[in-house]
Amino acid sequence: MSDLIHYRLEDGLALIGLARPPVNALSQPLRAAIIDACERAAADTRVQAIILHGEHGLFSAGADISEFGSDASFAEPDLPSMLVRLTEIHKPLVAAIGKLALGGGLELALACGYRVGEPSARVGLSEINLGLLPGAGGTQRLPRLIGAESALNLILSGAQINAERARMLGILDRIATSADQLLDEARAYAYELISCSAPARPAEAWPEPAEGLPDDFLTRYRAEHEPRWKSRLAPRLVLSALEAACLLPLEEGLARELALFKQAEASRQSKALRHVFFAEREAARIPGIEADIPLRKVDKVAVIGAGTMGGGIAMNFANAGIPVALLELKGEALDRGLMQIRKHYEISVKRGKMTTEQLEQRMDLLFGTLDYADLSDADLVIEAVFEKLEIKQQVFRTLDEVCKPGAILATNTSSLDVDVIAATVSRPQDVIGLHFFSPANVMRLLEVVRGKATAPDVLATTMKIAKRIGKLPVISGVCFGFIGNRMLEPYVREAHRLVLEGAAPAQVDGVLTDLDLNMGVFSMLDLAGIDVNFLIRDANRATTAHDESYCRLGEELYAMGRYGQKTGRGFYLYEGRNRKDDHEVVAMAERLSVELQVPRRPMDDQEILDRCLFVLINEGIQLLDEGIALRAGDIDLVWINGYGFPAHLGGPMHYAEQLGLDKVLAGIQRYRHALGEYGEMWFQPTPLLERLVAAGRTRIERI
Ligand code: T1G
């Protein structure tokens, strides 16, 4: 018997414990070990019932994602066939679900006749998050267990549901009194089944999955949900699989599901999403720092500034149960900030995401103060004051005086030089940048900006605390705009230039949203604020403004006080949240073109897409070459989670790899020659891109 399985025979029961840390991913060796153990139990006349469980608690996180796209994915025993075999065993099979059963892990449990979960168990079919669909019977067995509509909602959400919900739906037959009791109660359940001569599998709850649903249920479901799917393939394949479950016998439905799954597995979108899955885990690794480096304790946090950012930052820690001191200079600003936080929580209570007692618990963790002396015992202090260097430097001088030795001093700056801020204090090794994205209590992305002096344990500690508060931390070096905003600058510049050359803002935005970006450049600037973008641009004008045409339309709108949504007018007109094109802005662009002697011409969508993405990609590769970003995958994570780049395209770096680095280079060179002086200046391929193409490399990495 493989060491991937612990097999025990106990008084008529066979206990089969999955033991492939950390998550019992159902790789080929584990699949082989499971089927061998089940066949052994099935053939042993002493065995009257079989219990499948996670030897170390967690049941299974599903198929081994690293196998997809390789022969191992369907190497025998492939998961679908293995589960069919499990359903043919003529003895009750009980799945005892500890912690998690996700994807193929839940499908494994569904192939058992009976399921019991620990109270905190969570189950789900998360394949959709990887651009896949359940490929081992989930789309066929689940609708027969809980009905087509509930099954469809669960599969398309990719969400994990708790044990109580799973029991209510019929996925779990029972919930154990505790995690410790799970196996004992699974044993008791098995003996009950034996004593009443229960069948290996109870009769299917929904032999006709669409029972009780209108004939046009799936048609209407697609009409209602398809617009939100944008160009994503997997949701559409899920719908086809559910249709098969409603129309075909199980065996034919399983065959149809397999064909659809293989289509999804081979798709670029799934490859992109699997890249994102592993990139998220890779981002946590810090080259040159041992994973087990001793960390500084962070039991108490302080946030300076109770404005929108400071309040949002403070909420992250309160949500994680960490006490937060929130400091302001004036009482009314502090009161306003605390009131704003309470309001956010009250909205969550109204939406049923939180109870009133949880609201009060979180508010009790927030301690407002006007006195820096109250920060003397904070382990981590994060300043979120006005984006002016002098103001931040003053805050850090004060922190240097009041904070205890070893306290981590973080700045939330979005563009200022962290090294210059660190130089303000006597302990630069304790200083780091924590660039939260607004709204800080919602956005997962956190750029962790490592200063030249930042101590390794400070970096490792902040990466850990970031994960603890539910953030996706990505390490950046110090440069203007770090990773995200550094790449945003040429992207915005190019969009402005395109409008001078003949495109309308709506056309540029339309091309980008057709690629499934959440927002186009101009609607994003209107949301963030044309004034905010002007101030950032102004702070860096010396290095980026090439001539008076630089983002000139944005400059003009700023001068007119047209800041975007906040003033009702920006690149577009706003009535509430309704956005309308503004012919005045187009006329302004035309006038500026004449004034700046920029020839106008009809602009085709492909050129708009090429130019916006090529400058974005080029800058990202340059960041990698400078060592500001550690990996191409990190850059992808920043743009997916901070700027709405579609995850099913994998991020700008993955997208470039899929296009072909040689094609990206050729495109940049084409526009460099086609756009005259402007092209010569701004379509310079980065040396690393040229080196990669010259070396015939297909992946973006430092060479
Ligand atoms: N396959 C391979 N490795 C996996 C894995 C998986 N399914 N799940 C986790 N890992 C690795 C992960 O890369 C990391 O490795 C370590 O385990 C800890 O993970 C046929 C086709 C389970 C909630 O989508 O959601 O089944 O970095 O850091 O934060 O129909 O991992 O240590 O080297 O994320 O505690 C469906 C994906 C697959 C679940 C745990 N299953 N995993 O989170 O730890 S498709 C999923 C997760 C499928 C079938 C279909 C999370 C987690 P390393 P972690 P965590």
pLDDT of residue 56 exceeding 80, the answer is: yes
Task: Please report whether residue 291 resides in a domain.
Answer: no
pLDDT of residue 535: 85
What 8-state DSSP symbol labels residue 380? E
Lining ligand 1 with CB less than 6 A are 22-23, 25, 61-66, 79, 100, 102-104, 107, 126-127, 129-130, 132, 134-136, 138, 281
d(CA 256, CA 423): 63
For ligand 1, the distance from its centroid to the CA atom of residue 289, given in whole angstroms, is 24
Same-domain status, 513 and 627: yes
Q: 546: pLDDT confidence band, cut at 50, 70 and 90?
A: low
- Of 421, 452, 476, which marks where a domain is finished? 476
Pocket test for ligand 1, best of 65, 100, 444 (most atoms within 8 A of CB): 65
- Of 212, 242, 265, which marks where a domain is finished? 265
The C-alpha R_g of the chain, in whole angstroms, comes to 28
- pLDDT (tens digit per residue) in 423-457: 999 999 999 999 999 899 999 999 999 999 999 99
449: nearest Cα among 183, 638, 218 = 638
Atom of ligand 1 nearest to the CA of 134: 30
- pLDDT (tens digit per residue) in 632-669: 999 999 999 999 999 999 999 999 999 999 999 999 99
- pLDDT (tens digit per residue) in 309-325: 999 999 999 999 999 99
Same-domain status, 124 and 46: yes
Percent of the residues in the chain that have a pLDDT greater than 90, as a whole number: 92
Q: 516: pLDDT confidence band, cut at 50, 70 and 90?
A: very high
Which amino acid appears at position 238 of this protein?
A: V
pLDDT of residue 463: 97
φ, ψ of residue 548 to 5 degrees: the values are -70, -10
Atom of ligand 1 nearest to the CA of 278: 13
For ligand 1, the distance from its centroid to the CA atom of residue 66, given in whole angstroms, is 9
| Cα 51 from chain centroid (whole Å) | 35
Which amino acid appears at position 552 of this protein?
A: R
Same-domain status, 401 and 449: yes
d(CA 303, CA 681): 42
pLDDT of residue 205: 87
**Structure tokens given for 642:** 């901070």
- Which pTM was predicted? 0.94
Task: Please report whether residue 113 resides in a domain.
Answer: yes
- pLDDT (tens digit per residue) in 385-408: 988 899 999 999 999 999 999 999
Same-domain status, 543 and 580: yes
For ligand 1, the distance from its centroid to the CA atom of residue 397, given in whole angstroms, is 44
d(CA 184, CA 187): 5
Same-domain status, 257 and 361: no
- pLDDT (tens digit per residue) in 144-189: 999 999 999 999 999 999 999 999 999 999 999 999 999 999 999 9
For ligand 1, the distance from its centroid to the CA atom of residue 23, given in whole angstroms, is 7
Tell me the average pLDDT across 584-602.
95
d(CA 276, CA 648): 9
Q: 351: pLDDT confidence band, cut at 50, 70 and 90?
A: very high
Closest residue by CA, ligand 1 atom 16? 22
Tell me the average pLDDT across 549-555.
91
Low-confidence winner among 359-368, 393-402, 537-546 (lowest mean pLDDT): 537-546
Cβ proximity of 328 and 341 under 8 Å: no
Cβ proximity of 454 and 646 under 8 Å: no
Please identify every residue annotated as catalytic.
Answer: 107, 127
Closest residue by CA, ligand 1 atom 31? 61
Same-domain status, 214 and 79: yes
CATH number at residue 308: 3.40.50.720
Residue range(s) defining the domain that contains residue 389: 301-476
- pLDDT (tens digit per residue) in 566-579: 899 999 999 977 89
Which amino acid appears at position 329 of this protein?
A: L
CATH number at residue 565: 1.10.1040.50
CATH number at residue 29: 3.90.226.10
**Structure tokens given for 461:** 């500690």
Atom of ligand 1 nearest to the CA of 105: 26
Sole residue written with tokens 């004449």 = 594
Same-domain status, 108 and 186: yes
pLDDT of residue 545 exceeding 70, the answer is: no
Closest residue by CA, ligand 1 atom 18? 22
Helices 331-350 and 356-364, axial angle in degrees (round to 10): 150
Same-domain status, 544 and 680: yes
Other C-beta atoms closer than 10 Å to the C-beta of 46 total: 10
- Of 420, 451, 476, which marks where a domain is finished? 476
pLDDT of residue 387: 85
Percent of the residues in the chain that have a pLDDT greater than 70, as a whole number: 100
Task: Please report whether residue 214 resides in a domain.
Answer: yes
d(CA 206, CA 172): 15
Q: Output the DSSP codes for 293-318.
A: PPPPP-S-EEEE--SHHHHHHHHHHH
User: How many independent structural domains does the chain possess?
Assistant: 3
Low-confidence winner among 82-86, 467-471, 487-491, 537-541 (lowest mean pLDDT): 537-541
Same-domain status, 220 and 317: no
pLDDT of residue 536: 83
- pLDDT (tens digit per residue) in 125-153: 999 999 999 999 999 999 999 999 999 99
For ligand 1, the distance from its centroid to the CA atom of residue 246, given in whole angstroms, is 30
pLDDT of residue 204: 86
Same-domain status, 521 and 456: no
Task: Please report whether residue 210 resides in a domain.
Answer: yes
